[in-house]
A and B are shown apart, each in its own frame.
Chain A
Amino acid sequence: MRRDGGGRIDRSRVLRFRFDGQEYTGHPGDTLASALLANGVRQVATSVRLGRPRGVFAAGGEEPNAVVQIEEPFPEPMLTATTVELYDGLVARSLAGQGRLAAGPDPARYDAVHAHCDVLVVGAGPAGLAAARAAAATGARVILADDQPEPGGGLLGSRDEVDGVPGAEWAAATAAHLEEQPEVRVLRRTTVFGYYDDNYLVAVERRTNHLGAAAPAHVARERVWRIRARRVVLATGAHERPIAFAGNDLPGVMLAGAARTYATRYGVLPGRRAVVFAANDGAYAAALDLADAGVDVAAVVDPRPAAGELVAARLRERGVELLAGHVVTAARGDGQVSSVEVSPVSSGGVSSIDADLLLVSGGWNPVVHLFSQSGGTLRYDEAIGTLVPDASTQAVEAAGAARGVFALPGCLADGTGAGARAASASRAASASRPVEAPRAEETPEAAPLAYWLVPADDYTGHFVDLQRDVTVADVHRATGAGLRSVEHVKRYTTAGTAHDQGKTSGLLTSAVVAQALGVPVAELGTTTFRAPYQPVSFAALAGRDRGALHDPVRVTALHEWHVANGALFENVGQWKRPWYYPRPGEDMEAAVLRECAAAREGVAAMDASTLGKIDVIGPDAGEFLDRLYTNLMSSLKVGSIRYGVMCRPDGMVFDDGTVIRVADDHFLVTTTTGNAAAVLDWMEEWLQTEWPWLRVHLTSVTEQWATVALVGPGSREVLAGLAPGLAVGVDDFPFMTWREAEVAGVPARVCRISFSGELAFEINVTSWDGLRLWTEIMDTGLVTPYGTETMHVLRAEKGYPIVGQDTDGTVTPQDLGMSWVVSKKKPDFVGKRSFSRADTMRTDRKQLVGLLPEDPEVLLPEGTHLVSTGTLPEPPVPMLGHVTSSYRSAALGRTFALALVRGGQGRHGERLYAPVGDTLVPVTVTSHVLYDPEGARRDG
């Protein structure tokens, strides 16, 4: 229920929300959990396996129980009610273990940002604030990140004072002071969730969640911060630890510090009459604060023989009974706590105390998750019965409760020291004065006891992992089955694998295992801490790399024309290439047949700008290319062009393209579209790492040039019209040469090469002029634009292979019927040695052939396999090869295919069968060159 006053909530404003169908109200500053408690809602979830009622257990992100489904403004699964800031119009419901995804797309924006700092401080509790303050005082670049909406950490939930003012006030003032400094960034609502190599940390900032439906659409809802920090201070605080006893999962059982936070920070009393079960003095502060806030504290039950004198005295002052040397053996109640059974540690007598609230504190576990993720090792500290940071492997240190320093003055001093050290270590020279630590009252404490498990005969009601419904009995079954490692126990019981990743239960589980096996907890350790520290939405991690921005779309200088003229596009690597240009009423087949006919009978043009282009310059350029291509390039004459193939050292075809000799010391190499970057990298690798003495420089000029392929018997005439100054006759401009000329009024390099078998020219102009050239060509009214599909048909008719389509990384040039491109003269080139390996010498390798289906109408699907028999035997059926390319050819008046076939070069004329669906299609093997094998057409 809500207290009359107090708390850091704005009582002047009322927020309306719904939970499990009921209307409730709360205030700004509330979390969903505090608002539910204020409204007296006890059960907030149902347990996953056993279907038991569960209530709010903690007050922060470590919450194991109160996992809810957000339904509105937009469905979001499994958020902890303790971290959901209340907003108007929130609709949520309780869950039984599984969340629900929205059926439609998420309209919100997400983004990421890179940040750099000298000192990253994680956590803005007293230790973190002190650290940031000390670091900032040196002028260092500081980032302070905290997952709460306001800084202060534990101070927000206590009545402690710092430097003589209430802790929360001090925190707010300190944060404001920090924010005034130009090189300090304070990130609120920001969870650092991963700690990676070289002090790379990632955090997620929740920027608009708390605004509900009022969140502005143009602001990213969540932002991932990618932070490189020179030094890191982890001031992440500590999580309170539960104790296992019967019924410890009932609503009403709550961590002591959480109850105190609800009372102090949220002005909510989580119950009326409380029993406190604790084995450390710190929890007494919770008892005292609750008592002062109006909770009837029936008793404090402490397994230690005695509590600290100071806290004991304070209890006495308020008339609260202290049952030292006692334990809680059970929480009882129907659906929530109604009574608590208490027994002396030494003897059996049980007494029962009426209460609706049972506050538990088995001690505190420093939040070592990020430290462990950083590669730091942990050490079991016997005095406080928990794991603390030990040796670090990166530039990081923990401070305050995160290091096991729990008293406030210690936290402040620890943070101050860590911040100052981090700042000075991160900068070359720092000449600033050390700042003094803020002051707080020292409270003497008695030694805590690491108390885990209340002994019993039956452990089926002692829960360790509330969210995964794992009991001590389950753990004992695992150890009983022979398991010895906490990792095995985790996987056998599922303890620690839920939404909370065992934040409150992990060490408790280890302790139970240790006890069962009779080994020290220190030896057993815990399971591995992994990122993310708190669950992070997929969308936040995807950021803006989605949709059109998912992967760059690369376009040529002519792209706008292709779009405007109805091209359909094919993705080739990152490029968009025109696939074909359907006219109204045309399907792909009709369009491609038309485009092919234009190229074979008239004039057609293609945008070939995507081919990779590399300038190879230097006195040794020829020799360099000789080493990489299978054929000889150094003998190429200036003004001429040669086709070449590159292999990997294993002898398999890697890329192909043309090489033109621009000058004695200057070649221009073209690569396939998809391989442009890979080929340049490949060349640089050989040049820099193997042959650094070769005097060669490589420069990518792919986008410098727009390239138009002008193809067809009429292409000469069209070119002549556009380039009056260029002699285009066969003798003036022979095949495989190039010329410089003005085409359409712009300077161009024109190459006479052909990938179609027809007379063709490739016109290269700067990409600025590409559109201009293309438009001029189209404006002649004589030229049909064609796309990649037509290009594929034309080249396949000629038997020109496409790397990646007719090859798959297991094909040599010889397999492609291109022994002619493999130099016999050169002593060596990359790949040569592999041609004489046993496997590459086989005569029954798969080789490129043509296939003619006996029925000239039948089009073989690409990917179809070939068999030798007219009926299929039982599987496995021996396969001879497969169809790599298959088209309907206007020029041939029939269908045809290219295939890689075992021993194919010796099979010309043979009949094979292609299983297509349920039929076996008879095909005849032929040469892979089907169109104009004499090469009569290339000169027009």
Chain B
Amino acid sequence: MAERRSPAAAYAGRFEAASRGGALRLAELPFLTQIDVRVDPSSPAAGDIGDALGVPLPVEPGTAVRAGSGADEVTVAWLGPDEWLVVAPEGHRVELLRKGLGDRHGSIVDVSAQRTALLVTGPRARDLLAHGCALDLHPAVFGPGACAQTTLARAQVVLIPREDGFLLLVRSSFAAYLAEWLLDAAAEYVA
């Protein structure tokens, strides 16, 4: 029986080749759990969802929280005033959040396959993204703890800075385009 397949699976080899020089590291983090949470941030439900997650939903626009480690690691990114994206290793339960919400108004939607995650790290990661991202990616402005929905080249992305680079969530249908774009932009840094 055929295996399931992640959107950027075909790029694994080229990502690896581009990562060899050390200036950049490109990789897909396939099959992460991603859950879109919609709830009034001031409602008790929001608090209960936070409790279920183990970290409160960040209410400050443009911020993300990251907690836990290993299989329990979870990142919660602010997407909008009543919207968050929960990113976690495979297996993190939607049901957990549904339970947190209960039968109160809100929505918990499994969007794990809606976007895939690309990890762009290395000393030139910021330069690479600056070719197509209009945000100020300076670590003093957009460092760990921040997040943004924005555009990279001609694709919409969720961008989450990490210590050594960025986690980049892109819609599955755009993954091949963005992979091509990243590899093309990387030409100067990896040659």
Listed in ascending order, the chain A residues whose CB lies under 8 Å from chain B are 109, 111-116, 141, 216, 218-220, 226, 228, 544-545, 548-549, 551-557, 559-560, 575, 610, 615, 617-619, 695, 697, 699-705, 744-746, 766-769, 771-772, 775-776
Contacts and interface: CB of A to CB of B under 8 A. Distances in A.
A699 B114 CA distance: 11
Contact of B177 (A216, A554, A615, A766): A554
B107 A617 contact: yes
A766 B2 CA distance: 14
B131 interface: yes
Given A112-B131, A218-B187, A776 B1 contact: yes
Interface stretch (B20-28, B46-54, B63-71, B166-174): B166-174
B110 interface: yes
A560 B171 CA distance: 17
Contact of B187 (A109, A112, A705, A769): A109
Contacts of A549: 153-154, 177, 180-181, 184
A575 B176 CA distance: 12
Contacts of A545: 153-154
By Cβ-Cβ distance, the 9 closest A-B pairs, closest first, are A617-B107, A697-B38, A554-B173, A116-B136, A703-B172, A552-B177, A697-B107, A766-B113, A768-B4
Contact of A701 (B111, B127, B153): B111
Contacts of B184: 544, 549
A549 B141 CA distance: 29
A699 B177 contact: no
Contacts of A771: 2, 4-5
5 contacts: A552-B174, A619-B105, A767-B7, A768-B6, A771-B2
A557 B1 contact: no
Given A114-B130, A115-B130, A772-B4, A552 B155 contact: yes
A841 to B, nearest CB: 41
B41 to A, nearest CB: 13
Contact of B111 (A111, A544, A553, A704): A704
Contacts of A695: 105
A218 B5 contact: no
A219 B154 CA distance: 22
B136 A560 contact: no
Instruction: Output the residue of A216, A702, A766 with the most chain B CB within 10 A.
Output: A766
Nearest to A769: B4
Contacts of A744: 1
Given A216-B191, A228-B136, 9 more contacts: A113-B127, A116-B136, A544-B181, A545-B153, A552-B178, A575-B173, A697-B106, A703-B115, A767-B172
B90 to A, nearest CB: 11
Interface of B: 1-7, 10, 31, 36, 38, 82, 105-107, 109-115, 127, 130-136, 138, 141, 153-155, 171-174, 176-178, 180-181, 184-185, 187-188, 191
A547 to B, nearest CB: 10
A540 to B, nearest CB: 14
A773 to B, nearest CB: 9
Contact of A702 (B106, B132, B173, B188): B173
Contact of B2 (A548, A700, A772): A772
Given A768-B31, A771-B2, A776-B2, A552 B134 contact: no
A116 B130 CA distance: 10
Contacts of B177: 549, 552-554
A427 to B, nearest CB: 12
Contacts of A109: 187
Nearest to A109: B187
A704 B113 contact: yes
A700 B114 CA distance: 8
A485 to B, nearest CB: 39
B131 A111 contact: yes
A706 B48 CA distance: 32
A612 B188 CA distance: 37
Given A109-B187, A113-B130, A699 B38 contact: yes
A772 B1 contact: yes
B57 to A, nearest CB: 15
A241 B178 CA distance: 50
B95 to A, nearest CB: 14
A746 B106 CA distance: 28
A695 B105 CA distance: 7
Given A703-B114, A771-B5, A114 B109 contact: no
B133 A114 contact: yes
Nearest to A111: B131
B182 to A, nearest CB: 11
A618 B109 CA distance: 12
A112 B106 CA distance: 41
Given A553-B176, A615-B109, A703 B171 contact: yes
Given A618-B105, A699-B109, A557 B130 contact: no
Contact of A703 (B107, B127, B136, B173): B173
A746 to B, nearest CB: 8
A617 B109 contact: yes
Contacts of B107: 615, 617-618, 697, 699
Nearest to B3: A772
Given A549-B184, A552-B154, A697-B107, A702 B3 contact: no
B188 A220 contact: yes
Nearest to B127: A113
A309 to B, nearest CB: 54
A316 B141 CA distance: 61
A75 B131 CA distance: 27
A556 B173 contact: yes
Contacts of A216: 191
Contacts of A544: 131, 153, 181, 184-185
Nearest to A621: B107
Given A554-B177, A772-B3, A767 B113 contact: yes
A86 B107 CA distance: 65
B114 A775 contact: no
A767 B38 CA distance: 22
A610 B174 CA distance: 12
A615 B177 CA distance: 25
Nearest to B34: A704
Contacts of A560: 10
Contacts of A697: 38, 82, 106-107
